[in-house]
Amino acid sequence: MQLLVSVANPTEACDAVEGGADIVDAKDPSTGALGAVAIDTLQEIYAAAGGRRVVSAALGDVSDEQGIEQLAYDYAGTGIGFVKVGFAGVTDPSCVERLIRAAIRGVRASSLRNCGVVAVAYADSGGTTSVQPTALVDIAARAGASGVLLDTADKGGPGLLRLVSSTALELWVAQAHEAGLTVALAGKLTADDFPLICETGADIVGVRGAACDDGRSSRVTEGKVRRLTESLQKGPPRGAAGAPLGS
Note the pLDDT tens digit of each residue in 49-91: 988 999 999 999 999 999 999 999 999 999 999 999 999 999 9
pTM metric for this prediction = 0.92
Whether the per-residue pLDDT at 19 is higher than 90: the answer is yes
Q: Average pLDDT, stretch 122-140?
A: 90
Q: Average pLDDT, stretch 15-28?
A: 98
Q: Which residues are CB-contacts of 112 (< 8 A; sequence separation ≥ 6)? A: 79
Tell me whether residue 27 is one of the annotated catalytic residues.
yes
60: amino acid identity, one letter: G
Question: How high is the mean pLDDT of the chain?
Answer: 93
Q: Average pLDDT, stretch 24-28?
A: 98
Which domains are seen in the chain, by residue range?
2-233 (3.20.20.70)
Q: Which of 14, 45, 16, 11 lies closest to 229 in space, CA to CA? A: 16
247: amino acid identity, one letter: S
- Out of 27, 155, 188, 224, the active site residue is 27
Distances in whole angstroms, Cα of residue 171 to Cα of each of 127, 140, 151, 193: 18, 17, 16, 18
* Confidence bin at 238 (pLDDT 50/70/90): very low
Share of the chain above pLDDT 90, in %: 87
Q: Dump pLDDT digits (tens) for 196-233.
A: 999 999 999 999 999 999 989 999 999 999 999 999 98
Cα 138 from Cα 243, distance rounded (Å): 19
Determine the Cα angle at 99 with ends 127 and 140, to 5°. Answer: 65
Cα 193 from Cα 197, distance rounded (Å): 6
pLDDT higher at 245 or 142: 142
Cα 200 from Cα 167, distance rounded (Å): 8
- Out of 84, 155, 188, 224, the active site residue is 84
pLDDT of residue 235: 60
pLDDT of residue 111: 74
pLDDT of residue 240: 37
pLDDT of residue 244: 40
